[in-house]
Amino acid sequence: MRLAYIITAYKQPEQFKRLLDALWHPDDAFAVHVDAKTPTTVRVAFQAAAAGRENVHFVDPIPVAWGGFGLCEAEWRCLTWLVTQGEWDYLANITVQDFPLKRRDEMLAELARHPGANYMDIRRIDELPPHFARRSRWLCWETPKKVRRLPIPNLPPRGFRNAYYGIGFHVLSRAFCTWLTETPLMEECRRYFRRTWHPHEHWLQAMIMASPFRDTVVLDNKRHINWGGGSGHPKLLTMANLPELETSTAFFGRKFDMAIDAEVISALEKRLRLRAAA
């Protein structure tokens, strides 16, 4: 069994190198997108961090604005490239600020217990606070740096229902990823969600629930995220969180920042090495 990764980034090439060191395996495939707004010197540093690893591919960059479709489009470029690359079995989309909590063989063993499953966070919008439904009510326009809401009603899609929400990080089966690249629905999906607010938390949820794979969903996206504080943004994971990270069943923790606490990444690296040697 083989894995594929989508890694999105805009800063911290040093942290990218440590992430890649922790994840890299010659049998796996890696597609990386670095925001087009990232300075050239930083972009070169990202490429240098992956030097010598032929299975790491950098896709053509586009600008990504927070809350807009740019992140979806960046991942789409990665996914469509990965589908052409060999026979991997599962795909995980992560960012440079994620870090593995499990070894590769532990992830593969867990995935082998549920062949063909798609690990996602999916919730019905009509069971959530009203502001989630308002995300798609008005047309949005994404500029390179900002998403603007326009006073123009957004027409609902015809080929699927925008009725679901979830954290936009998943572990997806090869079969579902291939279906995404082949179904005519993806053209409408990309056109519709390009005009909405925070589409990254809706688009693939909508697609899998409109697909033949809806019954393969496991409602566990294999992420350990601390949402404390009520800001809508994940809190940074630090050494104070190490005990919960060590006992987590998730594949990845999110999110980390070497500039704030590099020690927790070092502790996780050491733990992964020790578990591999046991």
Q: What pLDDT does residue 278 have?
A: 57
The rounded distance, in Å, linking the Cα atoms of 238 and 89 is 32
Looking at residue 1, its pLDDT comes to 95
Cα-only R_g, the chain? 18
The predicted structure's pLDDT at residue 144: 86
Phi (first) and psi of residue 176, to 5 degrees: -65, -40
Q: Which domains does the chain have, with CATH numbers?
A: 3-277 (3.90.550)
Q: What is the DSSP string of 30-60?
A: EEEEE-TTS-HHHHHHHHHHTTT-TTEEEPP
Do strands 138-142 and 164-165 pair parallel, antiparallel, or not at all (unpaired)? unpaired
Alpha-carbon dihedral sign for residues 37, 172, 235, 98:
negative
pLDDT value at residue 231? 65
Instruction: List the 252-254 sheet strands across, edge first.
Output: 98-100, 252-254, 223-225
Q: What is the mean pLDDT of each run of 10 residues along the chain (278 residues)?
A: 98 98 97 98 98 97 96 98 95 98 98 97 96 93 91 94 97 98 97 96 98 98 88 90 97 97 98 77
Q: Terminus-to-terminus CA distance in the chain, angstroms?
A: 22
Which two tokens mark 63? 């600008």
Burial annotation 25-48 (CB, 10 A radius, 16+ → b, else e): eeebbbbbbbbeebeeeebebbee
Host H or E run for residue 140: strand 138-142
Q: By C-alpha distance, which of 209, 115, 128 is closest to 162?
A: 209
pLDDT at residue 224 in the model? 98
Torsions phi, psi for 22 (to 5 deg):
-75, -30
- In a 10 Å sphere around its CB, with 0-12 CB exposed, 13-18 middle and 19+ buried, how is residue 111 labelled? buried
Residue 89 corresponds to which tokens in the numbers above?
A: 């079995």
